[in-house]
């Protein structure tokens, strides 16, 4: 399945049949984040029913095989920071800025209006 053909949750699940149930749940929850919104690793962990698994969420998203279709760039730390290596963090920061998200001092300025 090529990236252009992934349009629905069912497509995401089909493309990830080799992943664990947890990883699929994380990718599906992330797929649902609309353009112009952000979420946090903690919120994704809560959405998949594993509220303490925010580090595992970050690890799964670090290996995201469907980026940017599954928009892992829209998931940040609870303080608005972009984790991971500097190059990856810079890419994610520029992607959310292009989508209209406000960045202050290198972090997302989290507000109820943009939080998904």
* Rg of the chain (C-alpha set): 13
C-alpha 56/C-alpha 8 separation (Å) is: 24
Residues 6+ apart with CB under 8 A from 56: 22, 45, 50
Is residue 72 among the annotated active site residues? yes
Angle CA(24)–CA(29)–CA(32) in degrees, nearest 5? 125
- Of the residues 72, 75, 108, 114, which is catalytic? 72
**Residue numbers annotated as active site:** 72
């Amino acid at each position: 399945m090529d990236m252009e053909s992934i349009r629905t949750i069912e497509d995401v699940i089909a493309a990830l049949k080799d992943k664990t149930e947890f990883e699929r749940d994380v990718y599906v929850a992330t797929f649902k984040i609309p353009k112009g919104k952000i979420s946090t690793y903690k919120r994704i962990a809560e959405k998949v029913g594993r509220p303490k698994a925010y580090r595992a969420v970050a690890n799964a998203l670090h290996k995201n095989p469907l980026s940017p279709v599954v928009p892992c760039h829209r998931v940040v730390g609870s303080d608005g920071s972009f984790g991971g290596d500097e190059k990856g963090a810079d890419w994610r920061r520029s992607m959310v800025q292009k989508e209209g998200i406000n960045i202050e001092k290198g972090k997302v300025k989290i507000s109820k209006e943009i939080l998904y």
